[in-house]
Amino acid sequence: MGTNSMNRFPRETIQARKLERFLFIRKSYFSQVKSRSYKNS
């Protein structure tokens, strides 16, 4: 049953996960850059 529910919307879930990961990585990256710039200044 689990495979069926997962295969129902494979494309949407994959895109959503990629977007979530991209946003999370970008957020953490910007936070690192901010802290770095604060330390330098």
pLDDT at 23: 96
Both tokens of 38, joined, read 């604060």
For 9, phi then psi, to 5°, come to -130, 65
Alpha-carbon gap, residue 19 to 25, rounded angstroms? 10
- Structural domain containing residue 29: 2-40
By the 10 Å C-beta count (0-12 exposed, 13-18 middle, 19+ buried), 39 is classed as: exposed
Alpha-carbon gap, residue 3 to 6, rounded angstroms? 5
Residues 35, 28: contact at Cβ < 8 Å?
no
Q: For the segment 1-41, what is each residue's pLDDT rounded down to a tens digit?
A: 556 655 666 788 889 999 999 999 999 999 999 888 877 76
| Count: domains in the chain | 1
